[in-house]
Amino acid sequence: MNGRSGDAWVYGPDGARFWGRYGAAGLLLHDPGRGVLLQHRAEWSHFGGTWGIPGGARHEGEGPVDAAMREAGEEAGVPAASVLVRFTSVVDLGFWSYTTVVAEVAAPVEPVVSDGESLELSWVPLDRVDALPLHPAFATAWPGLRVRLRVDHRAP
């Protein structure tokens, strides 16, 4: 771990809470033949029961790509060597930020539920993501990410 754990809530001026003392990051992994890797979030988690991407709090001094890769490894067994980062998308609220690291598979990835934060993991075709009950922040970000995936990956 780089520095202190970032596992803590941050509160915005309006009282809204966000996970990650130093911000947070997640991995949106794309496999052109299977879609994107999504995580069905454990019921006890923030917005439990919704679908999103493996991710979580950044540690002190940890960059967003490193954090996203660490979290995807911890939560879904995604090996960093099997991932090719394409771009990042940042939501910066001034007091807190979330970075979506968008990558494609460089080698086949078979995700494994490897901690208690996931009910299940699934490759979901791009045109089926909207049919799932999505984590609210991911639901907001998904339309723009999907467009960029189609352009940057030339996905069908």
pLDDT at 43: 82
pLDDT at 103: 97
Per-residue pLDDT tens listing for the chain (156 residues):
457 999 999 999 999 999 999 999 999 999 999 999 999 988 888 888 999 999 999 999 999 999 999 999 999 999 999 999 999 999 999 999 999 999 999 999 999 998 888 899 999 999 999 999 999 999 999 999 999 987 655 544
Q: What letter represents residue 86's amino acid? A: R
Query: Does residue 65 contact residue 88 with C-beta atoms inside 8 Å?
Result: yes
pLDDT at 153: 52
pLDDT at 152: 59
Residue 58, φ and ψ in degrees, nearest 5: -80, 145
Radius of gyration of the chain (CA): 15
Q: Which CATH number fits domain 9-150: 3.30.420.140, 3.90.79.10, 3.90.1170.40, 3.60.90.10?
A: 3.90.79.10
The Cβ of residue 114 has, within 10 Å, a number of other Cβ atoms equal to 15
DSSP H helix total and E strand total for the chain: 2, 9
pLDDT at 155: 45
Distance of alpha carbon 32 from alpha carbon 145, whole angstroms: 15
What residues does each domain of the chain span? Answer: 9-150
